[in-house]
Structure 1
Amino acid sequence: MVKANVLGQLFGLTSVVVGQQVYLAANGSTPRPQCTKCTEGEPQYTFTPFEYSMTSTVRYATSRPSPTTTTTYAAPLESLTSLIGSVSYTTWGKWDPTANATATDAANPYGNAAWTELWRIANPPNFTQEATSSVFSTTVKPTPVPTEELVLPPRDYFGPTDCYNFPPGFEFGVASSASQIEGATAEEGKAPSLMDILIQDDRPKDYVTNENYYYYKQDIERVAAMGVKYFSFSIPWTRILPFALPGTPINQQAIQHYDDVINYIIEKGMAPEVTLLHFDTPLQFYGTIHNVTAVLSNSEIGSTNGGYQNETFPDAYLNYAKIVMAHYADRVPVWYTFNEPLLYSANGKAIDHVIKSHARVSHFYREELKGTGKIALKFNDNFGVPRDPKSEADVYAADHFNSFQLGPFCNPIFLGQDYPESYKMTIPDYVPLSQQDLEYINGTADFLGIDPYTATVIAPPEPGSIDSIKECASNSSAELRPYCVNQTTTDIFGWNIGYRSQSYVYITPTYLRLYLNYLHNTFRTPIVLTEFGFPVFGEADKQNLSDQLFDSPRSVYYLSFMSEVLKAIWEDGVQVIGAFAWSFADNWEFGDYNQHFGIQTVNRTTQERNYKKSFFDLVDFMKARGVD
């Protein structure tokens, strides 16, 4: 049975590859099928009076109007308090490691003294008053975006030539995450999370980021002024529940803050979408907090240990999710339980906890809270394409790579099926799923969220050898574990698969279309591009702001990707229902601030924002193709 499934997956992937014509042997130049008749022969040359007649067309982005009706997706908080049990609310202050005064409530296990102790034990690297000094200390009053800032930039000479429109209801938005934009790291009661201690080397940890915690109204104002409808952000667990666990006090200031954020997004004519956990796991789930850095490196599967495998994690996460949903579900149409969980899953137990925790939250939302919005997860997978699509071993390797990254989550959630063989043959401590588990988990997501930044060229450890993949999977000390394939960025002829930025991202639009076909035909569910973006090479090194703003490579990335999305929808029958640009502004990229993924610049001294050309180009592309 297993063998038949593997062969079926291989056949399915091979069919997609053939259908996409990855390699077309051709002689001569590129054909031009759009040209039914070409002008040729001898032109006629003439002289005419010269005048400066070429003028610029000035166009403006169109701001979103304020809503005229109110849509709700659940009952208000007053009707839902019974679902979260007996809770208490309190407030805390700001941690200053150089302060002389100490808290006087040492007898309170959840008081200011205990909260301060969390930060002292965490001992975040390079945490000084200078590193955390804020331009703001209270919510900044927003100012309208002046009309002259909304003038569209000059077009690039070459651009999309399609004649497709997006289907009705297609969601176009921008995305962000709390730890990458908020700042106010140890202020208003927020406790330490993984993100606050993640960087332990000599690189500076960015504790200020974009000051969005105080500057959120201006950020929302600017996105709305560009006409974008959907605003995706994350709520940090350690702001809502500084002590993380069930029964501990809720941070009243945090509840009010995100209430204001959601209300202002709606007031500006946009829709809020919320991620519950975007890598920022509370440090309480790492056992001995003093040894947290050693624990972080102990990950068999993902790049980082997210603490998901802790025995107390599932119940605590459900409690946190219930509190947040009970407070905001009436106004939030879409919820994401986890962001890219594979990257922060340490072992088989972590995977098990993620999918079952997601299912529990989904059942709570639908059956107890009676929510009518949508719920999903955001997955990572830089799509693996076979180095040689005519090679059975390379196709097997690509399927092994992709199924390992997505199958442990997507098989149970979307298909009600067991983990893929690629995962079970590699991870010895995976937690078996019973038929009862599969029935409970199946159907607990409304669509598949995917962050398809780029593609990766895949081949077996030994050229042409399927057995070399299996041998690696069975060897716990094999160098290429856990994926057990060779990952490169060049095709069989030695060419890079696309234009490269300074990071891992290559512009790979045709492979995005192939990827969407893979997802649609494998998991048979609607798809949302929950993040996708591109850091222009050397953008941070450009001295002139105007040079940073004219980011044509990023425009190429976005417009080519969205052109391929349209082809996937209309030519391949793939159901793609939304796309979210990462990110609405340059942010902290988990280690430095030099990789600029934003469609706005951020001056981190003055906190001034400026729109980049790619923001205008992407919005114009979407609006021209019927997106609200």
Structure 2
Amino acid sequence: MWSKFLEAVILSGCLTQLTHAQSLPAPVTSGYSQTDLDRLWQSVEQGGVPVVKANVTRVLEPLANFSVGPEPPRFRPAYLQATTQNIELPKGFLYGVSTAATQVEGAVKEGGRGPSNWDWGCHNNITVCNNEVPDVTVNEYYQYKQDIQRVKAMGVNAFSFSIAWARILPFGHRGSPVSEEGLQFYDNFIDELLKNGIEPVATLFHWDTPLNLMSQYGAFLNNSIVEDFDNYASIAFQRYGKKVKTWFTFNEPHVYCDQYAAYPYNSLYTGGINATTAPYTCVPNLIKAHAVAVQTYRGLISEGKIAKGKIALKHDGQRPIPFDSNSASDREVVERRADIYIGIFSQPIYVDGNYPKRVLDTIPASILRRFTDDEKKIIKGSADFYAIDSYATIVAKTPPNGIEACASNVNDPNWPICQDISDNVSQYSTQSGWAVGAAADPLSPWLADTSQWLRYQLNWLTKTYPTPGGIYISEFGFAEPYEYLRTENYQLAWDERRSNYLLDYLNAALLAIHEDKIDLRGMLIWTPIDNFEWNLATQQKFGLQHVNHSTPGLDRTYKLSFFQVRDFFKQHLVG
């Protein structure tokens, strides 16, 4: 999902260059014994925080006589949806929920899984992850059947999940052993979805890099990642490609590459790479890895080895609105952010194989490697549809020293977008002083209910990055304010602002489809269950279900938002 913590600190100019007390382990490049795997895990625990297991360590079967429980009272008067109550979603519309392996699976050392960057980073500097570790999260590894049963009650027809690279390839790279137990887990998960009439949507990479690849060559700071990612992708395609028909290669590439500016990636810098250049060292390697994997996917389809399906990556960010619509400078900042945040990945794939002109003019080739002509050929067209994690719209304002001075100085704190980030309020307020929408939890200051701008976003994407495969909103969701402070179930379940946000966005999407003729083909809600929200760990809540971490079985409870979304799709979904 969109890096809620990281986006907030980047926009506020507070990206901390955290250091680490422990060294990365020596890489394993041959042998690949259990002793080698144990050594990698020992490096995870060297900071003094051992890996822990869940109380439930066997796969739980679906509950007999399952029910969703008592229905909530009527929440939103029907007249508030009067403009869309008779509108139907297009036939085949993908309606579902979205999760990520690190955030929900748990069982990190089980089934032969290798450690990832998140295992090493959280255990060796636990304050980075809010004094928690992702060892158990919500224990989906063992409780997935019941979780799918609970999601089915919502009436979804799709479930987006990610595959943990290190669960399939514990050592990460080509030529290293493949874990049959890891492969079988996802076979079982996919089969359970299909058994319940839910389409599986798989993401290959949701920010969890095998630790061994970080140690060996710096992961996405090195072009070697292209071959290793392609190898991993090929294994996944061939194993699951007859069952999974919709694939994402990468989740939120801009935010992922931005993470290379901070811990734990700053331990990987070599050859003059620093916090400024590292994100843009990552960018071309990730784009090429995506394109090569897509080439492999299409080749397997043409050879008849897997079923015909569709593939893309999940973009992130938004085209802002100007702080002052009468200011030419503010309007230029809008375009700069759109190009440098979204366009840097989208234009090469959907337009011409190259970066936008603003990117080329601002970021020198010494920082952002240019693509060769041969690379451009495989990158252009390497997506069958457009997908974006569209959470909110922000405001763009000119920096105090102006765009030109900022753009020409790589040491400027606002470079390269050159959007004013000195005043946090200005990022989320209009010139009048009014907020762009109802605010989410203060832990996620970047997020507000900006549903009134969703059609603006979709119209811009349709015009700028046209694709015959249509648009999917691959994630959208909301952090209920101060939910983590609530203690009673009836308080935890009443997530009114999240419910408002979801219904507002869904109704805006209906209008975009029917009034703007946007080819919107699906929406996936983040997320079905409160999970491990990266740096904010379990404190920040985005789920349609609450998890009680004080109970042995991590008991789940439906929230109001679950029922509201269920009823919306009952009314508007066809077939």
TM-score range, shorter chain: 0.7 to 0.9
Correspondent of 1:139 among 46, 50, 59: 59
Could you say which residue in structure 1 is the equivalent of 2:416? 482
Instruction: Spell out the pairing of 1:71-110 with structure 2 (5 A cutoff).
Output: 109-110=31-32
Correspondent of 2:378 among 431, 440, 443: 440
SS in 2 for 1:149: coil
The structure whose RCO (Cα within 8 Å, separation 6+) is larger is: 2
Deviation at 1:368, TM superposition (A): 3.0
SS in 2 for 1:375: strand
Could you say which residue in structure 2 is the equivalent of 1:566? 510
SS in 1 for 2:438: coil
Matched AA of 1:193: S
Correspondent of 1:614 among 556, 561, 565: 561
Correspondent of 1:498 among 437, 446, 451: 437
TM-score, with length taken from structure 2: 0.83
In structure 2, distance between residues paired with 1:330 and 1:547: 44
SS in 2 for 1:578: strand
In structure 1, distance between residues paired with 2:505 and 2:300: 39
In structure 1, distance between residues paired with 2:62 and 2:431: 53
Deviation at 1:269, TM superposition (A): 0.8
Could you say which residue in structure 2 is the equivalent of 1:265? 193
Pair 1:191 & 2:110 matched? no
In structure 2, distance between residues paired with 1:355 and 1:518: 22
Matched AA of 1:221: Q
Provide Cα deviations, 1:473-508, integer angstroms capped at 9, x if missing partner. Answer: 221110112321115111001111111112121010
Deviation at 1:383, TM superposition (A): 3.8
In structure 2, distance between residues paired with 1:322 and 1:114: 25
SS in 2 for 1:221: helix
Could you say which residue in structure 2 is the equivalent of 1:181? 104
In structure 1, distance between residues paired with 2:108 and 2:353: 41
Instruction: Spell out the pairing of 1:109-508 with structure 2 (5 A cutoff).
Output: 109-123=31-45, 127-128=49-50, 132-144=52-64, 146-147=66-67, 149=69, 151=71, 153-157=73-77, 159-161=80-82, 162=84, 163-199=86-122, 200-202=125-127, 203-206=130-133, 207-287=135-215, 307-345=219-257, 346-370=278-302, 371-428=307-364, 429-462=367-400, 468-487=402-421, 488-502=427-441, 503=444, 504-508=446-450
Provide Cα deviations, 1:84-129, integer angstroms capped at 9, x if missing partner. Answer: xxxxxxxxxxxxxxxxxxxxxx998211110000112233756335
Greater Cα shift, 147-156 or 367-376 = 147-156
In structure 2, distance between residues paired with 1:181 and 1:509: 27
Correspondent of 2:527 among 563, 583, 604: 583
1:124–1:196 CA contact under 8 A, matched in 2: no
In structure 2, distance between residues paired with 1:418 and 1:288: 29
Provide Cα deviations, 1:160-179, integer angstroms capped at 9, x if missing partner. Answer: 22232211111000000000
Higher CA-based Rg? 1
Greater Cα shift, 137-146 or 540-549 = 137-146
2:173–2:213 CA contact under 8 A, matched in 1: no
Matched AA of 1:333: K
Q: 1:369 to 1:125 in 2, by over 3 A?
A: farther
In structure 1, distance between residues paired with 2:526 and 2:29: 45
Could you list the runs of 5+ residues in structure 2 that have no partner in the other structure? Answer: 1-27, 258-277, 422-426
Matched AA of 1:402: A
Deviation at 1:382, TM superposition (A): 4.1
SS in 2 for 1:208: coil
Q: 1:143 to 1:435 in 2, by over 3 A?
A: same
Deviation at 1:625, TM superposition (A): 1.1
In structure 2, distance between residues paired with 1:128 and 1:122: 8
1:126–1:205 CA contact under 8 A, matched in 2: no
Greater Cα shift, 161-170 or 527-536 = 161-170
SS in 2 for 1:188: helix
Correspondent of 1:528 among 464, 467, 472: 472
TM-score, with length taken from structure 1: 0.77
In structure 2, distance between residues paired with 1:505 and 1:145: 39
SS in 1 for 2:249: strand
1:379–1:450 CA contact under 8 A, matched in 2: yes
List structure 1 runs of 4+ shifted beyond 4 angstroms: none
Deviation at 1:568, TM superposition (A): 1.4
1:584–1:598 CA contact under 8 A, matched in 2: yes
Could you say which residue in structure 2 is the equivalent of 1:599? 544
In structure 1, distance between residues paired with 2:308 and 2:453: 34
In structure 2, distance between residues paired with 1:284 and 1:536: 37
1:425–1:474 CA contact under 8 A, matched in 2: no
Deviation at 1:534, TM superposition (A): 0.4
In structure 2, distance between residues paired with 1:170 and 1:124: 48
Q: 1:126 to 1:204 in 2, by over 3 A?
A: farther
In structure 2, distance between residues paired with 1:141 and 1:212: 12
SS in 2 for 1:609: strand
Q: 1:288 to 1:443 in 2, by over 3 A?
A: closer
Deviation at 1:154, TM superposition (A): 2.3
